[in-house]
Each structure stands twice: as C-alpha cells, then as structure tokens.
Amino acid sequence: MGQSLKERSVHADPPQGAVAVDATRLRRALADEERRFAETTAGSHHLYRSAREVLVGGVPSSYQSGNPWPLYLSHGNGPVVWDVDGTDRIDYHAGFGAMVQGHAHPVLVREMHTRYAKGSHMAAPTEDAVLVAKALSGRWRLPSWRFTSSGSEATADAIRIARAYTGRDAIVKTVGSYHGHHDAVLVGLGTDAAVDPVSGTSRPASAGIPDAVAAQTLAVPFNDAPALTRLLSALSIRDHLPACFILEPAFMFGLANPEPGYLEAVRDITRHYGVVLIFDEVKTGLTIAAGGAAERYGVMPDMVTLAKALGGGLPSGAVGSTEEIMAVVESRRVLQAGTFNGNALTMAAARANLTEILTPEAYVQLERIGARIVSGCRAVLDEHGITGHTVSAGARGCVALSGGPIRDHASLRDYEHPGLTRLTWLHAVNRGIYVTPARPEQWTLSVAHAEKDADVYVEVFRELVSSLTS
C-alpha cells in the first residue's frame, strides 16, 4: 500500500479531510492557476458580465455556475469543445455525462437534418419511439417503457409509479446521492448530508421543499446492505414500509462502485420486503455497458430510469419497468405525461444513437480508453507513493487523490478537500482538459476519444501530482 498524501505532507491543510497537501505549496499553486485562468478567459469574463444582466447568476442552471465566472462554450466537435476565447479542450465533462457519442457526430447531424425537415414535434407517437423502446427493452430486459425529457422527470415518474403500485408514501435513497431536482429526492444530499443513522431522516437540501415532503424520504449509506435491512425491518414493524429504494447502482457521486455482493443483497432485501427496486441509471445507463449497471453487475431492478446519454445530445429521459408495475400507468391510475415526451427529434436521435453509435464495438473502445487512463494515472500514483482511488467502466471513470478507496458517503466526506478539488479543476482546464468543477476527478468518455486523448489526460495528471509532491 502506498502512502496517502496526508502521510507525505508537511502541513495538514484543512480540517475537512483525510487527504492533505502542503498548505503553502497548495496556496501558491492555486494562486498561479487562478491567475492563468483569469488571463486566458477574458471572453468568458466579458460574456459573464453581460449574462448577469438577464440570466440569474449569469447561467441557465445553477450547476453551470463558475468561479470566478463560467467558461462559456461556443461549439464542440468529436471529443473537443471550444470556449468563446477560442481555446480548445478535450471534453471529459461530456455535458454532465451525456455526450457519449461525442459532439456533432456525423450520424446525428444527418438524422437531425432529415427529421427536422419532416417536422420535429407533433406531440404524437412516432415509429422511432417504438424502435427506441424496443432497443431499451432488449438492453435492460424490462418490457414496458415511457419517455420523459430529463433525468429528474424520469426519477419523479418512477417514484410516483412505485408509490401508486405499492400504495405507500415513504421512499428510501442512499445518503448523499443525487437523483434530480424535484422535491422527493432533494433530501439527504451531498457530502454535508446530515442523515439520522437510525431513522434515516434529514433536512431538505433546498429551500422551498415542504418538511412534510422531505419527511417521506429516508436515506441509508451506499454499500451497506445491513443498514438497509435494519431500516426496512424497523419500518416494517411500524407498518411504514417504503414504496421504493432508489439508488445509483454504480459510480455513486461519480466515484464509488458497488462492492461485491452489495447489489445482489439489495435485490434480495427489497424483494423480501416487497419494496420496488429502482436503479437510477441516468448516468450509468448506456455508459458503463450497453445495458448499464444492470447488465454489468448482473442484477435486475424492478424499474430503471435513464436520461443523459440516451438522447444523443437532446433532452431525453425514460422509465422502464415490468408490465405488472406499469399497469398503474396503463390503467391511468398514474398520470405519466409531458408535451415533449417522445419528441420526434429526440426519438430520431435516440434511435440512431442506440442502433448506429453505441454499438457493441463502441463499448469495447470505451473500455479500452478508460483502462488506458486508469493504468497511466495508477502508474503516476504508484511512482509518488500515493494510494489514491481509481475506477473505470466503459465511458465512466475517475482517479482521486485520496488516502484510500472511496466506497460511501463517509469516505467521500473524509476525502473532500475543497482546495485540492479547486486546484485539480483549474490545473486541468488551464492545460486543455475540460472537466466538471464539482468533481473534476471523474470523467465521461465519448466514442470519439482516442488513445492520444487518454495520454494527454495522464500527462496533465502527472504534472499535477508532481507539482504537489516533488
């Protein structure tokens, strides 16, 4: 086992985490990178000032905010995006994990032209919707599907369906997990989620959510099957079993994968208590395998939610389940609806995406590139005697400068180091790598990424680690 950065460090920086680096070195590196970022992003700064006059915080969505300003992008092609200053970067952000087909894929450009010219939206089913549902049933071995326009809508619909099917109100999620921006799931969220370990309750993570709604959402730690058993057993005694257990089966927080046996245990426990098991595969679906985590780990949920990579870059979402559960929708006891559900343009994109781009060969290629990044970064960690945390599966992966494996909310919280996270992001974007600000150590690849892109990622990582340790 290698040393953690903390073990190597001279000064322990913030109290937050197990990982610490020399505080003076970190401060200096941050100042240098902040300066470099400001000097090279004048166009984004200018647009930010103008945007703030009309867009709240200068952005269309709070997750697009930036410090000191967001990078405003102009266009993308294949694995590359350009900002308004004309700087190009290899895209490992992938529009929060959606652009697995890469930017402006020629197949999608052709399909969009063709479909738009024939009408893009009729709010009526098209043949493509049938083809997409058939492709998804094949990949997930769940027969009944409906579409939405986002991941949040997919999880909201899935939870409502589970509630109607079971006749129960409570739901269970995992501590810290994100499942979208609707009231039922904005509870027990983030690394500062303060969840009562016995009752599973916590405060809403956003103002504007009624306490009465938040009280129906309980949380248990990820990778902890006994905790789920304890909670369901206690709720069963009080005759207050939940409708569903919704979890991101892999890449929780973008970093933590299920330990051997965890998903199987979750399957058994939920079946035992008659609780609907929902795999939220909004991020893992179509990225870590053709049939997402269900295929990769061989565990079948009762319901699955998809979005992101489904729509080939257009807003999309889907809920799949068994005929028995979806009967509550078929009978119209549950309203599942939306003006843009199954939108003709989105369905044409999704059909081409599933049948022509995300092919079996594409997953082989994604796996190879991901493994190349991980083995390159692992070698860097080993050279510097750092334990770290590395994971890769299909298009998804991460390399974290942690003192050990990240397996749940507690180990993520221990690892969390705002200064190091900030430096990781700045260091990357200043050197041609585009990653998400919140978790810059995770990536999503596209089918357009090649070996040379992987090697750039590794080189930039090597430079970061050397600057912190040598």
State which of residues 76, 78, 176, 180 lies at the interface with ligand PMP (CB under 6 A): 180
Which phi and psi (to 5°) does residue 74 adopt? -105, -40
Q: What count of other Cβ atoms lies within 10 Å of the Cβ of residue 393?
A: 21
The residue (of 105 and 283) whose beta carbon lies closer to ligand PMP is 283
CB of 148 to ligand PMP, least distance (A): 9
- Of 251, 269, 299, 274, residue with least CA distance to 97: 251
Strand 144-148: give its sheet, edge to edge. Answer: 144-148, 317-321, 303-306, 276-280, 244-247, 171-174, 217-220
Which residue type occupies 14? P
Contacts of 6 (CB under 8 A, 6+ apart): 12, 18, 19, 20, 403
Q: Total number of residues binding ligand PMP (CB under 6 A)?
A: 13
Can you tell me the distance from the alpha carbon of 431 to that of 84, in angstroms, rounded to the nearest whole number?
A: 16
For the bound state, the minimum distance from the C-beta of residue 406 to ligand PMP, rounded and expressed in Å, comes to 17
The closest alpha carbon to 96, from 251, 240, 323, 296, belongs to 251
CA–CA gap between residue 438 and residue 398 (Å, rounded): 13
**Cβ distance to ligand PMP smaller for residue 430 or 442:** 442
Tell me if 126 sits within 8 A of 147, measured CB to CB.
no
Question: According to CB under 6 A, which residues from 411 to 450 bind ligand PMP?
Answer: none
Interaction of residue 4 with ligand PMP, rule CB under 6 A: no
Task: Return the residue of 83, 111, 128, 280 that touches ligand PMP, per CB under 6 A.
Answer: 280
- In this chain, which of 103, 105, 173, 179 binds ligand PMP, going by CB under 6 A? 179
Is 388 among the residues that bind ligand PMP (CB under 6 A)? no
Contacts 24+ apart (CB under 8 A), 34-41: 34/68, 34/426, 36/426, 36/430, 37/68, 37/426, 37/429, 37/430, 38/68, 40/85, 40/87, 40/430, 41/69, 41/71, 41/83, 41/85, 41/87
Does position 255 interact with ligand PMP (CB under 6 A)? The reply is: no
CB of 444 to ligand PMP, least distance (A): 11
Task: Output 78 or 95, the one with its CB closest to ligand PMP.
Answer: 95
Q: Which is nearer to ligand PMP, 36 or 439 (CB)?
A: 439
Interaction of residue 178 with ligand PMP, rule CB under 6 A = yes
Asked if 97 and 309 count as a contact pair (C-beta separation under 8 A), the reply is yes
- Is residue 370 within the footprint of ligand PMP (CB under 6 A)? no
Q: Which stretch binds ligand PMP (CB under 6 A): 29-37, 177-185, 259-267, 446-454?
A: 177-185
Give the shortest CB-307-to-ligand PMP separation in angstroms.
Answer: 5
78 touches ligand PMP (CB under 6 A): no
* Region binding ligand PMP by CB under 6 A among candidate stretches 42-50, 104-112, 135-143, 173-181: 173-181
89 in contact with ligand PMP (CB under 6 A): no
Q: Specify the pairing of strand 396-400 against strand 73-77.
A: unpaired
For residue 428, the one-letter residue type is A
Find the residue with minimal CB distance to ligand PMP.
151
First to last CA, the chain: 20
- Encode 84-146 in three state secondary structure: CCCCEEEECCHHHHCCCCCECCHHHHHHHHHHHHCCCCCCCCCHHHHHHHHHHHHHHCCCEEE
Q: Is 155 in the site for ligand PMP (CB under 6 A)?
A: yes
x/- binding map, residues 283-322, to ligand PMP, per CB under 6 A? x-----------------------x---------------
Minimal distance in Å, beta carbon 35 to ligand PMP? Answer: 31
**Smallest distance from the beta carbon of 205 to ligand PMP, in angstroms?**
14
Residue 1 token pair: 């086992």
Among residues 346 and 430, whose Cβ is nearest to ligand PMP? 346
- Looking at the Cβ atoms of 314 and 354, the one nearer to ligand PMP is 314
270 CB contacts (<8 Å, ≥6 apart)? 228, 232, 245, 276, 277, 302
Which one of 152, 166, 321, 353 is in contact with ligand PMP (CB under 6 A)?
152
Helix (H, G, I), strand (E, B) or coil at 289: strand
121-150: contacts with ligand PMP (CB under 6 A):
150
Binding of residue 346 to ligand PMP (CB under 6 A): no
Choice from 248, 295, 416, 453 touching ligand PMP (CB under 6 A): 248
Q: What is the crossing angle of helices 344-352 and 106-117, to 10°? A: 150
Least gap, CB of 98 to ligand PMP (angstroms):
8
Site of interaction with ligand PMP (CB under 6 A): 96, 150-152, 155, 178-180, 248, 280, 282-283, 307
